[in-house]
Amino acid sequence: MATAPELLTPELVIRPMRALDVAEVVAIERAAYQFPWSEGIFRDCLRVGYVCRVVAASRRLFAYGVMSFGAGEAHILNLCVDGPWRERGVGKQLLASLLERATAAGMTEAFLEVRPSNTAAIRLYQSAGFEQVGMRRGYYQAAGGREDAAVLRRALPASGVPAT
Ligand SMILES: CC(C)(COP(=O)(O)OP(=O)(O)OC[C@H]1O[C@@H](n2cnc3c(N)ncnc32)[C@H](O)[C@@H]1OP(=O)(O)O)[C@@H](O)C(=O)NCCC(=O)NCCS
């Protein structure tokens, strides 16, 4: 099903990620994370039909998010804003858009993992209503070995659309 782009500002829209976007997404990913996803992971996410969105202007990308659905639950797998565009509300709007999409698809809860050291992301998720419900020990690669992941959850409003 085609998804109409959402207008973020007159210049920025949130639209589905395309295969042609992947090189640019990977460049942002590599600059953002010490242990980035590979190009192949993004291509697999597109291939299996995960919800993959980008924040874009006509000539470049500013942010992206990836989300999967299963058993009534949305799982936010990646959310990233290009460095110079952070702290301007882009991440918050992209997250809200993903959660709206999950609600429209009939999901009742959203989950994600985040490094406890990632203050910016934790602040973003808390401001969007997520609360910590658990901890996965040694979940992430880290410079000195492994780092735990905090598991965050929030309920989604009923959409009236049954989950498929
Ligand atoms: C986490 C990230 C997506 C936030 O995106 P952003 O566009 O900068 O966030 P926003 O400007 O929309 O801010 C959202 C909220 O987070 C807060 N926030 C954002 N960056 C912050 C920072 N560096 N320190 C503290 N709070 C911060 C904002 O103040 C805002 O809070 P509010 O809603 O209470 O006003 C961005 O920092 C990023 O891409 N980081 C690298 C990738 C990453 O770590 N992704 C998360 C993986 S789980």
For 109-136, write each residue's pLDDT tens digit: 999 999 999 999 999 999 999 999 999 9
State the pLDDT confidence band at 164, using cuts at 50, 70 and 90. Answer: very low
How far apart (Å, rounded) are the C-alpha atoms in residues 75 and 89?
A: 21
Ligand 1 centroid to 86 CA: how many Å?
7
Atom of ligand 1 nearest to the CA of 92: 12
Give per-residue pLDDT as tens, 139-148. 998 888 999 9
Q: Find the catalytic residue in 125, 131, 140, 147.
A: 125
Q: Does the CB atom of residue 32 touch ligand 1 within 6 A?
A: yes
Ligand 1 centroid to 100 CA: how many Å?
19
One-letter-per-residue 3-state SS of the chain: CCCCCEECCCCCEEEECCHHHHHHHHHHHHHHCCCCCCHHHHHHHHHCCCEEEEEECCCCEEEEEEEEEECCEEEEEEEEECHHHCCCCHHHHHHHHHHHHHHHCCCCEEEEEECCCCHHHHHHHHHCCCEEEEEEEEEEEECCEEEEEEEEEEECCCCCCCCC
Nearest protein Cα to ligand 1, atom 22? 120
Ligand 1 centroid to 134 CA: how many Å?
21
Would you say residue 45 has pLDDT above 80? yes
Atom of ligand 1 nearest to the CA of 118: 44
Q: Is 113 a catalytic residue?
A: yes
Average pLDDT, the chain: 93
**What's the pTM value of the predicted model, to 2 decimals?**
0.93
